[in-house]
C-alpha cells in the first residue's frame, strides 16, 4: 500500500463518519453518554452559496416548479431556494462521497450519470446560461424579470430539450431541479425548506410523531394531529409571560 492512498482514506473518513478513529471494542459496549451524530441544522440568514442574481433566479424557478395557490404557499415562501442554497454549500454541492475518479465517458442511460461536474458547478453554470439565454431572447430581461407564463415557457422548452445551453447540459439541470425542489418542499424544516411545515400540512403528513400504536387500528379515519418537526413545533414553545 502506498502512503498516499492511506492519507486519502483517512481524509475521507474524517469527513464523513461520526467515529473517525478505528477503535478496538473488547468486553464493553462503547457507549458514550452524549449523542455523537446530531443533525446539522440549517441556519436562517444570508445566502451561503448563491449570488444575489442566482438567488433571484432560483426563487423564481422554485415558485414555477411549485407555484403558490390560495391554500398553500409556493416554493419560494416554503424556502425551497434556501434549502438548495444550504445543500449546495454543503457535502451535496461538492459531490462528497460520490465516486469521482475518471475516465468520464458518457454511457448508456442504464449506466447512470457520468458527469464530472459537481452539483454546485451544475447550478452555477446552468443559472448563468439561463440568464444569458433569457436576455438574448426576451428583450434583455433575466429569468426573474419575466412574467410567470414566459418563465413557464422557458422551463418547458428546457425540459423538452428545445432550449440547450452551450456550457452545460440544460436537461440535466432541469432533472436536478425536479429532484431538489420537492426535497426542499417536503424535507424536515431543519434543512432550511418546508417553512412552517407547509409541505406537510398540504398533504396531511404528521412529520416525526413516531408513535401510532393508538392509530394503526383506526381504519379510514383521518389522523387529526398537526405535524411535528425534528425541531418541534412553534406552538410548543411557551409564550413569554
Partner 1 sequence: MARKLPRKDVVIIGLGWTGSIMAYELADAGLDVIAIERGPWRNTATDYPPGYAADELRYRIRHELFLSPGQTTFTFRNKMSEAALPIRSWGAFMPPNGVGGGGVHWNAETWRFLPSDFVLKTHLTERYGAGFLPGDMTIQDWGVTYDELEPHYDRFEYLCGTSGQAGNIKGTIMEGGNPFEGPRSRAYPNPPQDQPFGHTLFGKAARELGYKPFPQPSGNMSRPYQNPLGVRLGPCTYCGFCEWFGCGNYSKASPQTTVLPALVRKPNFTARDNSEVTRINIDSSGKRATGVTFVDASGDEWEQPADLVVLSAYTIFNVQLLLLSGIGKAYDPAANTGVVGRNFTHQTISDVVSFFDPEKFVFNPFIASGAIGMCIDEFNGDNFDHGPHGFVGGGYVGQVQTNGRPIETTPVPPGTPLWGAAWKKAVKDNYQSAIKPGTGVHGSMYSYRDVYVDLDPTYKDRFNRPLVRITMDFHDNEIKQNKFLTDKFAEIFQAMGARQVHKEYRKAPYDITKYQTTHLCGGAIMGTDPGTSALNRYLQSWDVPNLFVLGASAFPQNAGYNPTGTVAALAYWAADAIRSKYLKNPGQLINA
* Grid coordinates given for 43: 441556519
CB of 241 to partner 1, least distance (A): 27
* Grid coordinates given for 77: 415562501
CB of 1 to partner 1, least distance (A): 5
Distance between CA atoms of residues 195 and 187, nearest Å: 10
Residue 19 binds partner 1 (CB under 8 A) = yes
Residues 141/134, Cβ–Cβ less than 8 Å: yes
State which of residues 81, 187, 195, 198 lies at the interface with partner 1 (CB under 8 A).
Answer: 187
Instruction: Name which of residues 90 to 129 contact partner 1 (CB under 8 A).
Output: 91-92, 96-101, 103, 105, 107-114
Instruction: Name which of residues 55 to 84 contact partner 1 (CB under 8 A).
Output: 64-67, 69, 72
State which of residues 77, 120, 150, 202 lies at the interface with partner 1 (CB under 8 A).
Answer: 202
Distance between CA atoms of residues 149 and 152, nearest Å: 5
Distance between CA atoms of residues 193 and 36, nearest Å: 25
Number of residues that bind partner 1 (CB under 8 A): 94
State which of residues 136, 220, 237, 241 lies at the interface with partner 1 (CB under 8 A).
Answer: 220
* Of residues 124, 72, 57, the one with CA closest to residue 94: 124
Distance between CA atoms of residues 51 and 172, nearest Å: 21
* Grid coordinates given for 34: 452524549
* Of residues 53, 41, 130, the one with CA closest to residue 90: 41
Residue 219 binds partner 1 (CB under 8 A) = yes
| Residue with Cβ nearer partner 1 (73 or 134) | 73
Task: Give the binding range for partner 1 (CB under 8 A) out of 20-28, 43-51, 121-129, 132-140.
Answer: 20-28
Residue 20 binds partner 1 (CB under 8 A) = yes
Distance between CA atoms of residues 199 and 237, nearest Å: 21
Instruction: Name which of residues 221 to 240 contact partner 1 (CB under 8 A).
Output: 221-223, 230
Distance between CA atoms of residues 187 and 185, nearest Å: 6
The reply to whether omega before 103 is within 30° of 0 (cis) is yes
| Residue with Cβ nearer partner 1 (72 or 138) | 72
Instruction: Name which of residues 22 to 51 contact partner 1 (CB under 8 A).
Output: 22-32, 34-39
Instruction: Name which of residues 146 to 185 contact partner 1 (CB under 8 A).
Output: 152, 155, 159, 177-178, 181-183
Distance between CA atoms of residues 142 and 132, nearest Å: 7
State which of residues 56, 76, 124, 191 lies at the interface with partner 1 (CB under 8 A).
Answer: 191
| Residue with Cβ nearer partner 1 (1 or 52) | 1
Amino acid at each position: 500500500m502506498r502512503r498516499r492512498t492511506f492519507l486519502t482514506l483517512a481524509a475521507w473518513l474524517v469527513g464523513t463518519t461520526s467515529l473517525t478513529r478505528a477503535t478496538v471494542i473488547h468486553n464493553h459496549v462503547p457507549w458514550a453518554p452524549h449523542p455523537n451524530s446530531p443533525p446539522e441544522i440549517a441556519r436562517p440568514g444570508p445566502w451561503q452559496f448563491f449570488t444575489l442574481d442566482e438567488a433571484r433566479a432560483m426563487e423564481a424557478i422554485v415558485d414555477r416548479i411549485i407555484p403558490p395557490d390560495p391554500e398553500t404557499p409556493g416554493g419560494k415562501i416554503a424556502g425551497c431556494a434556501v434549502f438548495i442554497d444550504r445543500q449546495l454549500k454543503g457535502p451535496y454541492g461538492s459531490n462528497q462521497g460520490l465516486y469521482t475518479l475518471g475516465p468520464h465517458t458518457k454511457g448508456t442511460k442504464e449506466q447512470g450519470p457520468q458527469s464530472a461536474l459537481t452539483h454546485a458547478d451544475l447550478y452555477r453554470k446552468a443559472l448563468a446560461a439561463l440568464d444569458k439565454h433569457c436576455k438574448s431572447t426576451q428583450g434583455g430581461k433575466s429569468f426573474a424579470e419575466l412574467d410567470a407564463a414566459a418563465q413557464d415557457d422557458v422551463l418547458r422548452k428546457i425540459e423538452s430539450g428545445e432550449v440547450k445551453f452551450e456550457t452545460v447540459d440544460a436537461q440535466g439541470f432541469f432533472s436536478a431541479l425536479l429532484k431538489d425542489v420537492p426535497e426542499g418542499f417536503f424535507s424536515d424544516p431543519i434543512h432550511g425548506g418546508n417553512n412552517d411545515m407547509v409541505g406537510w400540512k398540504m398533504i396531511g403528513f404528521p412529520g416525526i410523531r413516531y408513535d401510532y400504536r393508538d392509530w394503526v387500528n383506526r381504519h379510514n379515519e383521518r389522523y387529526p394531529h398537526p405535524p411535528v418537526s425534528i425541531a418541534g413545533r412553534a406552538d410548543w414553545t411557551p409564550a413569554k409571560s
